[in-house]
Structure 1
C-alpha cells in the first residue's frame, strides 16, 4: 500500500515517513503542485494522501480543490495534517473533500489507526476498475475519459485533435424488439468496431448507447470515408437495419474544458438525430450560435410568460359551401420587447423537447378561454376556437382536471374551445384512450390534427372519440394530381363515414378550394382565405 506525503517541511515529512515506512511504501512531495503531478501519474497505486495546509506554490486548499475537479484523482482519500487547530480550516478542508484531519504533534498509533480505517473504507466502497472502465464495453467511463483526455491533450500540444461521437438511432426500440441481451451485444460489437476505426486516441462509453472517441490526426476528416465506415459497421451488425449517427468536432480547441469539447460533437450529432437522409454532421459556429440562442430562449421563457410576450393569433376556418367563418385555430407567436417576432418553428420544437411546452399550452388555452369569455359577455358572435395540446401536455399529471377548472372559472361552454391533438401524439394506447375519454366526458370536442402527415393511425380514428379530422397541408398540396386527389377524396369519405367533420389545412389557391368544395369537404383553413390574425384583427373580420 502506497502513501503520498505532500508537506513542505522536511522535518515533518521525515517524522511521518519514519512512522509509516515499516508498514507502507511512501512517496514524498515538497509542495502541492508536485503532489498533484505525482498523483496524476500514480493515482492507481496511491491509497492515501497525507496533506499539509500551508505550502508554497500550491497550498492544501488549492490541492484539494483541483483534486476534487477530477473524479479519478478525487477517488484517492486525503487526510490533512497541520499544526493549526483552526476549526475554520478543518471545515474548509472537509468541505473540499478531505476525509480526516490530524494535528501535530503526531501520535504514531493514532495516525496509523486513522490511515487503516480510511483505506479499509475506500476498499470496501469501490474499486478503481469500476471507476475507470465500463463493465460491458471495456471502454473508459466518462469521468475516467475526462481525466486521461486532459493529460493526453496537455502533453501533445503540437497535435490536432478530433472528437467523434457515435449514436444508434432508436436504441430503445432495439432493446424493446430484441431484448436487452441482444441490445448489449450490439453495444459490444459497436465498441469493438469503434476501436478498429478510431486510431491514436481514447474511447469512452459516453452515455447509454453513445460512444465517443478523442484522437489526434493532421489529416482532414473525409465525410465520404466516414459514411462508408458507418455503412460497413451497420451491415455487419448483429441485427439488421440499425441506423448510426455520427457527430464530429474537428480540430478541437483544447483550451476548452473536456465536457464542453465533447458537447460540441454531441451537438453536431443531435442536429441530425431525426434526419433519415444524413448520418454525419460536423460541429460549426452556426450550430453553437443556434444552441446559445436556444438556451437563451429557455432562460427567457419564464419572464416571457409573466410579461405576456407570447401572443395568440387566430386563423379562421371557413365553411366550404357558404364561405362563412365557422371557427378558428389558436396559434402562438413570440413577440420580444424590441418588437422582434419569433415564429413557432423556432421555439415550439425546443419547448416540446425540454417540457416547457406544457406551460405554454396552458398559457394559450387560458388566453383563448378569456377571449371567448369577453366575446360572450359583450354578446359578440362566437365560433369555436380550437387549441393545440402537445404530446407532453397530454401526459402531464391532472391535465384534464386542470383544463376543466380553467373553463369553469371562465364560465364558458366547453364546446367553444375544442382541443386539437396531432395524429402522432394520439397513436393508440390505453393511456391515450383514458385521457381522451376524460376530455370528451368533460365536454370538450376533440380534433385530430395533421392527419396524413405521418402515422395516419386508423386505429386511433376508430378507438378515440374525435369529432373532427384535419387533413394536413402535405395532402392538399397534391390535390391537383390524379393520385393525390383520390387520396384526399378517400380521406374525406373516411371522416364522413365515421361521423366526423373534415377540415382541410393549408389551402392556398382557388383551384384547391373549388376541388375541396366538389369533394364535400366541410371546412377550409389556409392562406387562401386568411393568414393567422392578431386578436384585434380577428375580432373585426366579417363573414
Structure 2
C-alpha cells in the first residue's frame, strides 16, 4: 500500500471514529475563519445540521447562552496569547433546550509560529452538571422538608455572627413533643407526612425574612431579626398555636395531635458564637419541657442544670449497666436480588421494669452527655465479638455485624486498641465487624479522624457512613475519608413511591455515585415493595428494613442465619 493510500485510509478511519463518538469534533481555518471539518457529534449536541456550520461559521456564537456569551468570547480571545483553552458554558440548541457543554480548543502553528488552524472538541456535560446540583442540594438541604439542614444552619449562623454584618437576631429551637411516639406507633411514613405538614404551617406563620432549618427528626431552628424580644415571643406563640391544631393525614385517615416546646436565645446578649447560642436555646427548650411542654421559654443562666427527670433516668441507666439490663437485637441485611442474608446491624435495646422499652432516642443522647456512652459502647463491642465467637462455634453461617459508634465514642483514644483486644480475645477475624459512624464524627479533628480510620482499616474493619444524606452530608467527606459503605438514610428511601420524586432522584444519584466510587450501598428503612423494586432497578446491593425483618432477639436471628434467606412481607391489600 502506498503512503497516499495509507493516508487516505487513516483519514477515513479518523472520520468514521469522530462521526460515531458522542462528542463533537471540528477543525477551522484560522485565517479565513471557516470550518474545514465538523463531525456529526456537533450536530447532535447543537441540534443544527452540520451544513449550517459550514455555511455560517459564526452560527455557534449565536447559540451561546446570552448569560455566558461575553465570557466565552473573551476566553476565545485568549487564544491569541495561549496555546489552548478549555471551559464550560451553556448553549441554546436548535430545539430550544438549554444544555451545558465542555469546550476544548487547541491551535496549530506554521513554521513561522503563526496560527493557521484551530482544532476542538465539544462535549455535552448536562447530566454531570445536573448530578452536581443534586448532590449539592443533598449536602445542604433536608430532602423530606426541602428546608436547610444542620450544616446549612451552621453556615448561616457563621454569617449572622460575623463582626462585619452583626445585627441582633433571635434563635428559636422548636421541638415536636410527640413525634417519637407517632413514629414508634404509626411508623415513619406517617411521621414524615406530619413533618411535611409541620413545615408548611411553620412557614405560614413566620415572617417572610425568617430562616427555617430542619436539623433533626423532630427539631427545627428559626433565625429571625427582632426589634424587641416581643417579636420573637409573638412568633413562638403563633408557632405553638398553629401546631396545636389537629393534623389530618388524609391518606391514612388519621387525625393527629402534636404540641411544640420552644427555647429562645438572643444574639448577642445570650452569646456571640453559634454553638453557644444553640446550646443556650436548647437549655431554654429543656426548661420548657420541664414545665409541661407546649410552651416557650427564654434563655436564662439559671436554667443550666439537669432536670430531675434526666437525673433519675441517668441513675437508672447506671443501674441498667451494672445489672446488664441492656440487650442487643439484630436486624438482618439481605441481598436485594435474592433475599440471602449477608449481615446484620446490632441495635441496643433497654427494657425498663416500669417504663417498658426505653427509646434509644431518649437514653443515647443522655448517655453521650454524661459520657456513659463509652461504657455502653464498649459493652456492645464486647458482646458482639462474644456472640460472633458463639456463632462460629455453633457452625452457623458467618456474616459481618455492624455496630453503631457515637461521635463521642469514636473520638475515644482507646477505641481502636479496645476493638483489637476484643477481636484477639474471642479470636474473631476483623472482616466480621463493621463500624457505622455518622457524618458528625467526620467533622471533628480531621487529623485524628483520618488516623483512627487508617488504624481501623489496618485491622481489616470496614467503615460505613450511617444516615448518608442528612445533616452534614458532603462529597468532600467521601473524598477525604473514603468509607467502604454508604447507608442511605431511611428518610429518602421511605418517600419513594409517595410522589417524592426528588427523594427518588437523590437516592438514584447516591447509588450511581457509590457505584462509580466502588463503594457498597445499604438502603435502610425499606418497608414497602415499591421501595424494594426501585432499589433493585437502580442496582442497590443490600437492603435493611421492616419489609424483610424488624430487629429481633438473638435467638430469632440465629434461626434466620440457619435458614439463610428471608422473603419480603407480602404486599398489603
> Structure 2 length as normaliser, TM-score?
0.48
Residue matched to 2:184: none
2:316 corresponds to 1:306 = no
2:275 and 2:385 mapped to 1: Cα distance? 47
2:370 and 2:167 mapped to 1: Cα distance? 29
- The alpha-carbon distance between structure 1 residues 264 and 484, as it changes in their structure 2 partners (threshold 3 A), is closer
Once the 2 structures are TM-superposed, how far is the Cα of residue 509 of structure 1 from its aligned partner?
A: 0.2
Residue matched to 2:48: none
Of 400, 405, 411 in structure 2, the residue corresponding to residue 384 of structure 1 is 400
2:551 corresponds to 1:535 = no
Given that residues 318 and 324 in structure 1 are in contact (C-alpha distance below 8 angstroms), is that contact kept between their aligned partners in structure 2?
Answer: yes
User: RMSD value over aligned CA atoms?
Assistant: 4.5
Once the 2 structures are TM-superposed, how far is the Cα of residue 427 of structure 1 from its aligned partner?
A: 3.0
1:512 and 1:224 mapped to 2: Cα distance? 42
Once the 2 structures are TM-superposed, how far is the Cα of residue 336 of structure 1 from its aligned partner?
A: 2.3
Task: Give per-residue Cα distances to partners, 1:493-519, cap 9 Å, x unaligned.
Answer: 111111111000000101100110000
Once the 2 structures are TM-superposed, how far is the Cα of residue 299 of structure 1 from its aligned partner?
A: 1.2
- The alpha-carbon distance between structure 1 residues 226 and 318, as it changes in their structure 2 partners (threshold 3 A), is closer
Residue matched to 1:503: 522
Residue matched to 1:465: 482
2:491 and 2:326 mapped to 1: Cα distance? 27
1:469 and 1:403 mapped to 2: Cα distance? 22
1:442 and 1:431 mapped to 2: Cα distance? 17
1:232 and 1:360 mapped to 2: Cα distance? 33
* SS of equivalent residue, structure 1 residue 381: coil
1:309 and 1:362 mapped to 2: Cα distance? 15
Given that residues 270 and 280 in structure 2 are in contact (C-alpha distance below 8 angstroms), is that contact kept between their aligned partners in structure 1?
Answer: no
- The alpha-carbon distance between structure 1 residues 318 and 178, as it changes in their structure 2 partners (threshold 3 A), is same
2:477 corresponds to 1:483 = no
- The alpha-carbon distance between structure 1 residues 363 and 239, as it changes in their structure 2 partners (threshold 3 A), is closer
* SS of equivalent residue, structure 1 residue 418: strand
Of 325, 345, 361 in structure 2, the residue corresponding to residue 329 of structure 1 is 345
Alignment of 1:401-412 (within 5 A): 401-412=417-428
1:474 and 1:270 mapped to 2: Cα distance? 26
2:158 and 2:232 mapped to 1: Cα distance? 29
2:371 corresponds to 1:355 = yes
Residue matched to 2:97: none
- The alpha-carbon distance between structure 1 residues 465 and 440, as it changes in their structure 2 partners (threshold 3 A), is farther
Of 525, 541, 562 in structure 2, the residue corresponding to residue 522 of structure 1 is 541
Once the 2 structures are TM-superposed, how far is the Cα of residue 307 of structure 1 from its aligned partner?
A: 1.5
Structure ranking higher on relative contact order (CA contacts 8 Å, 6+ apart) = 2
Residue matched to 1:418: 434
- The alpha-carbon distance between structure 1 residues 525 and 392, as it changes in their structure 2 partners (threshold 3 A), is same
1:409 and 1:227 mapped to 2: Cα distance? 58
Once the 2 structures are TM-superposed, how far is the Cα of residue 300 of structure 1 from its aligned partner?
A: 2.3
- The alpha-carbon distance between structure 1 residues 484 and 340, as it changes in their structure 2 partners (threshold 3 A), is closer
Once the 2 structures are TM-superposed, how far is the Cα of residue 338 of structure 1 from its aligned partner?
A: 5.3
Residue matched to 1:451: 468
* SS of equivalent residue, structure 1 residue 425: helix
* SS of equivalent residue, structure 1 residue 333: strand
Residue matched to 1:513: 532
Residue matched to 1:292: 308
Residue matched to 1:372: 388
Residue matched to 2:95: none
Once the 2 structures are TM-superposed, how far is the Cα of residue 462 of structure 1 from its aligned partner?
A: 1.4
2:446 corresponds to 1:427 = no
Pairs aligned (count): 318
- The alpha-carbon distance between structure 1 residues 449 and 267, as it changes in their structure 2 partners (threshold 3 A), is closer
Residue matched to 2:234: 224
Given that residues 245 and 279 in structure 1 are in contact (C-alpha distance below 8 angstroms), is that contact kept between their aligned partners in structure 2?
Answer: no
* SS of equivalent residue, structure 2 residue 297: strand
1:452 and 1:348 mapped to 2: Cα distance? 22
* SS of equivalent residue, structure 1 residue 515: helix
> Structure 1 length as normaliser, TM-score?
0.51
Task: Give per-residue Cα distances to partners, 1:312-351, cap 9 Å, x unaligned.
Answer: 0000011001111111100011012458221211101111
1:467 and 1:232 mapped to 2: Cα distance? 40
- The alpha-carbon distance between structure 1 residues 519 and 265, as it changes in their structure 2 partners (threshold 3 A), is closer
* SS of equivalent residue, structure 1 residue 328: strand
Once the 2 structures are TM-superposed, how far is the Cα of residue 177 of structure 1 from its aligned partner?
A: 7.6
Once the 2 structures are TM-superposed, how far is the Cα of residue 430 of structure 1 from its aligned partner?
A: 1.7
Once the 2 structures are TM-superposed, how far is the Cα of residue 424 of structure 1 from its aligned partner?
A: 2.1
Larger Rg: 1
